[in-house]
Amino acid sequence: MKAFVTGGAGFIGSAVVAALLRRGHQVTVFDNLTSGHRRNLNPDVPFIDGDIRDAHAVIRGLRGADVVYHLAASVGNKRGLENPTNDASVNAIGTLNVLEAARIAGCKKVVYSSSAAIYGETVQLPVEEDQPKRPLTPYAISKLAGENYVLAYSALYGMEGICLRYFNVYGEGQRFDVYGNVIPIFVTNALKGRTLTIYGDGEQTRDFVNIADVAEANVRAAEASGVSGAFNVGSGSATTINEVATLIVDSCPTKVAVVHGPPRAGDVRHSRADISSAIGSLGYRPAVELQLGLNRYVEWARTEARSGPG
């Protein structure tokens, strides 16, 4: 199988590339390195430095691919609140460019990286795929628009389209930035001896899923014959932010204080995935328990900190 991976230099994208290579698939990476890292690129994998908003570049790069993994995106609620037009440009129009290129190339399958953010504040837990979508931020709206494009193209043009709705992904390779998820922020600060700040009372819950499980879900999505639709990718369990802070403090060599700040705009209160559809249709089963995954991540982050930027 020949795979074309947009965003393949990113945290999740590079893990998907590695998983595909382990399965013996051929891969080409397409990334503009805005949020991806050059060090994530495998020197043996062809790399195209390009932007998904450049339709002609996408068409040229995608030729000959059997499957497209579309992970390139402007990621995060905070970034979207600061620059909503960029989210729309990258996540909606960029996705449309990728789909048009796939249609022109006669590509058989598109696997789209979506987000649990499209659900917004859920009325029922665990979250099933057919629950109402109430996106609360420009980022979530743009990701839902991308989903709708993928599923429409699947119905219109006969390509198989799979949307993977990630819950809170964490793990080795996830570097800290101001738009990042809570785990890399907490781990980075804890390793530096800094206080951890929880926004709100900390009893909000999240479904944390390890990067190894997410990469496996992506590979299975392409290998599942005759399957289209949207699937939750999570652990199927909920953990409070207070519990995550405690686990991280316990995993780090230096004990740090934990304080609380005001709640953040756009944050949902509770989230937990119903993953039965992914289990049944894709054969997906999460294998990395949270404490083990955090221990591995803390050790990776300590090694990363010692090696310095690069």
State the Cα–Cα distance between residues 117 and 158, nearest whole angstrom. 28
**Mean residue pLDDT across the chain:** 94
pTM of model > 0.85: yes
Q: Give the CATH superfamily of 2-167+211-234+273-287.
A: NAD(P)-binding Rossmann-like Domain (3.40.50.720)
- Pick the closest to residue 163 from 125, 130, 207, 121 (CA basis): 130
Coil, strand or helix at 54: coil
Residue type, 310: G
Domain boundaries, the chain: 2-167+211-234+273-287
Instruction: Taking residues 207-235, report their average pLDDT.
Output: 97
Q: Is 112 a catalytic residue?
A: no
Residue 69 near residue 13, CB atoms below 8 Å: yes
Residue 54 near residue 6, CB atoms below 8 Å: no
Residue 284 near residue 164, CB atoms below 8 Å: no
Coil, strand or helix at 258: strand
pLDDT of residue 180: 66
Contacts of 67 (CB under 8 A, 6+ apart): 1, 2, 3, 4, 107, 108, 109, 110, 111, 222
State the Cα–Cα distance between residues 21 and 23, nearest whole angstrom. 5
Q: At 244, is the pLDDT very low, low, confident or very high (cuts 50, 70, 90)?
A: very high
Residue 268 near residue 136, CB atoms below 8 Å: yes
State the Cα–Cα distance between residues 201 and 112, nearest whole angstrom. 34
Q: At 264, is the pLDDT very low, low, confident or very high (cuts 50, 70, 90)?
A: confident
Q: Which of 69, 112, 139, 284 is catalytic?
A: 139
Q: What dihedral do alpha carbons 234, 235, 239, 244 form, nearest 10°? A: -90
Q: Burial, 154: exposed, middle or buried (Cβ in 10 Å; 0-12, 13-18, 19+)?
A: buried
State the Cα–Cα distance between residues 63 and 30, nearest whole angstrom. 12
DSSP-derived secondary structure for 5-58: EETTTSHHHHHHHHHHHHTT-EEEEEE--SSS-GGGS-TTS-EEE--TT-HHHH
pLDDT tens string 59-81? 999 999 999 999 999 986 666 57
Max Cα separation, the chain? 56
Residue type, 112: Y
pLDDT of residue 178: 54
* Count of CB atoms situated within 10 Å of the CB of 215: 22
pLDDT tens string 98-147? 999 999 999 999 999 999 999 998 878 999 999 999 998 999 999 999 99
